[in-house]
Amino acid sequence: MQEPVVHIDQLKLQFRTKVILDNLSWTIHKGEQWLITGESGTGKTVLAKAICGLIPVSGTLEVKFDPSVRLPARSLYVAQWFPFKDKQGGTNFYYQQRYNSTEAENSTTVWEELSAYTTKVNVGPEQINELLQSFNLLHRKDAALIQLSSGEHKKIQLSKALLLKPQLLILDNPYTGLDVQTRKNLNGLLNDACTSGMQLILISNDGDLPSCINCFGKMEHGKLSTSMQPFAEETTAVADLAIPDFLLDPEVPSPTIVNANNINVSYNGKAVLKQLNWTVNAGEKWLLSGHNGSGKSTLLSLLTGDHPQAYANEIYLFGKKRGSGESIWDIKKNIGFISPELQWYFEPTSTVFQAIASGFFDTAGLFRSVTAAQAHKVRTMLSLFKLEDEEHTLLKQLPLGKQRIVLLARAVVKNPPVLILDEPCQGLDQQQTRMFNKLVDQLSTPTRTLIYVGHLAYRLPACITHRLTLKAGVAVEMEHALYTEN
């Protein structure tokens, strides 16, 4: 009988009183390419890290590599986030930093990052170029990492994994932030890698899969169920939530929320937004779409007050021209905001309570005291989102999906008239996505304005009625209709 590549028996891990892995057993044989699904927080990431030796566990865990396979005899775990460093090796970035051109000088470029990595994996520049072409990043090879979008960061992270092409590759939610075409390209690259002898464990709740996947697992309560067929998707209906009165009918600050005229933004001569015109009226529900790197996040940063080039453009927010005397806090008080970058750079010592409460002050962490009334609202949000047990837990200790739910609570706790949600369902499982978008629909009353960034039509709230599509910084489509991305 063929010797297994991975053999796990009675694997156990407990964090304080919570059992993460409960006497889990699993065997992977040569040629098996696995998809692992399951709700957020069921132990998928912990299991992946344990296989790659990144966390200690008790029980039997053996990984055996094949000396006849011409691939590096190692396993590689690729996390959901890309933890890049500056030229001095630092990782202490802050949210607005990516929009300051002077900060880019201390950040490595795409080409520098990948070229430095190739010395470890013995591949040439032509292979870097091929991958950049596959991920539509060739035109960005001289861009600083700090100036890339979350989707572009994911492409760099995946490129490094595919350059190494280890015998065992574990990808944790690799489709996070990727547009539709990039997902297709990634699947083709994974199929090719598995043909050459690599074994794949893919952790994902997305429907996009490479054709090489031939085994299926589902994590529940610290145990793994396995099958040769995909597990049926659970379509549990999401009931209406009991929205508290303080989250209804926000006061509208102006009939026109956004009036952007002939907007141009560039970095070092590279245009990011070009002659963009856009008007958003109060109460409209917009989808902002476009491929990775098309300028979506840059446009949003102009609206949230985080981008310094807003002052060089004709932008009216809430009826007032940027630079006419309003402060960044005057802008932010009317906006509830979520983005992948906000989650990356959030104050790491924040508890769940503190993270939600920081929404009253528009800070990435709680740095002042809250009133009794504000504390009551925070605890109401904890109850609404079923987070009571995590009130004192550090935000960073939650599964990424639950972190995103906490940040949604943070975005809405002050009942803002405008919600700007930049890829808010990244990291959420299917049930959490349905719950999230159901809540967005409930909060999208006639007086509240919504700007929502998303790539997949089936992961959007139903309330959207308008669409702006960007391509290479240019508005190529503006419609009063629901959206489908090809």
| DSSP reduced 3-state for 374 | helix
pLDDT at 33: 97
The token pair at 381 is 């949000």
The token pair at 205 is 């709740």
Per residue in 193-204, pLDDT (tens digit) is 999 999 999 999
The token pair at 226 is 């396995």
| Domain formed by 6-227, architecture | 3-Layer(aba) Sandwich (3.40)
Could you tell me the pLDDT band of residue 485, with boundaries at 50, 70 and 90? very low
Is there a contact between 39 and 429 (Cβ–Cβ < 8 Å)? yes
Q: Which residue type occupies 215? A: C
Between residues 122 and 276, the one the model is more confident about? 276
Whole-structure pTM value = 0.84
| DSSP reduced 3-state for 368 | coil
Could you tell me the pLDDT band of residue 94, with boundaries at 50, 70 and 90? very low
> Fold for domain 245-479?
Rossmann fold (3.40.50)
Query: How far is 101 from 33, CA to CA, in rounded Å?
Result: 43
Q: How many CA atoms does the CB half-sphere of 328 hold within 13 Å?
A: 13
Query: How far is 339 from 326, CA to CA, in rounded Å?
Result: 24
| DSSP reduced 3-state for 314 | strand
Q: How large is the C-alpha radius of gyration of the chain? A: 23
∠ Cα 290 296 301 (to 5°): 175
Four-residue CA torsion sign, 20, 23, 24, 27: positive
Over residues 77-102, the mean pLDDT reads 61
Q: Which residue type occupies 157? A: Q
Q: At what angle do helices 150-164 and 125-134 cross, to 10 degrees?
A: 140
Per residue in 230-250, pLDDT (tens digit) is 887 766 777 888 889 999 889
Q: How many CB atoms lie within 10 A of CB 184?
A: 12
Q: Where are the domains of the chain?
A: 6-227, 245-479
Strands 215-220 vs 223-227: parallel, antiparallel or unpaired: antiparallel
Is there a contact between 154 and 177 (Cβ–Cβ < 8 Å)? yes
Whether 414 has a pLDDT exceeding 90, the answer reads yes
pLDDT at 104: 54
The token pair at 450 is 């919504």
Edge-to-edge order in the sheet of strand 18-28:
18-28, 6-15, 58-63
Query: How far is 220 from 240, CA to CA, in rounded Å?
Result: 25
378: region left, alpha or beta (phi > 0 left; psi from -120 to 50 alpha): alpha
Q: CA torsion, points 367, 373, 377, 378, in degrees to nearest 10? A: 30
Q: Give the burial class of 15: count Cβ atoms within 10 A of its Cβ; 0-12 exposed, 13-18 middle, 19 or more buried.
A: exposed
**Average pLDDT across the chain, whole number:** 87
Four-residue CA torsion sign, 304, 306, 310, 311: positive
Could you tell me the pLDDT band of residue 270, with boundaries at 50, 70 and 90? confident
Strands 256-267 vs 270-281: parallel, antiparallel or unpaired: antiparallel
Edge-to-edge order in the sheet of strand 335-338:
335-338, 418-422, 449-453, 285-289, 466-471, 474-479
pLDDT at 60: 94
Place of tokens 């990291």: 427
Domains 6-227 and 245-479 equal at CATH topology level: yes
Buried b (16+ CB within 10 A) or exposed e, 75-113: bbbbbbbbebebeeeeeebebbbbbbeebbeebbbbbeb
Q: Give the burial class of 365: count Cβ atoms within 10 A of its Cβ; 0-12 exposed, 13-18 middle, 19 or more buried.
A: middle
Is there a contact between 449 and 257 (Cβ–Cβ < 8 Å)? yes
Per residue in 274-329, pLDDT (tens digit) is 999 999 999 999 999 988 888 898 899 889 887 878 788 899 999 998 877 778 88
Could you tell me the pLDDT band of residue 417, with boundaries at 50, 70 and 90? very high
The token pair at 75 is 């396993």
Q: Give the burial class of 239: count Cβ atoms within 10 A of its Cβ; 0-12 exposed, 13-18 middle, 19 or more buried.
A: exposed
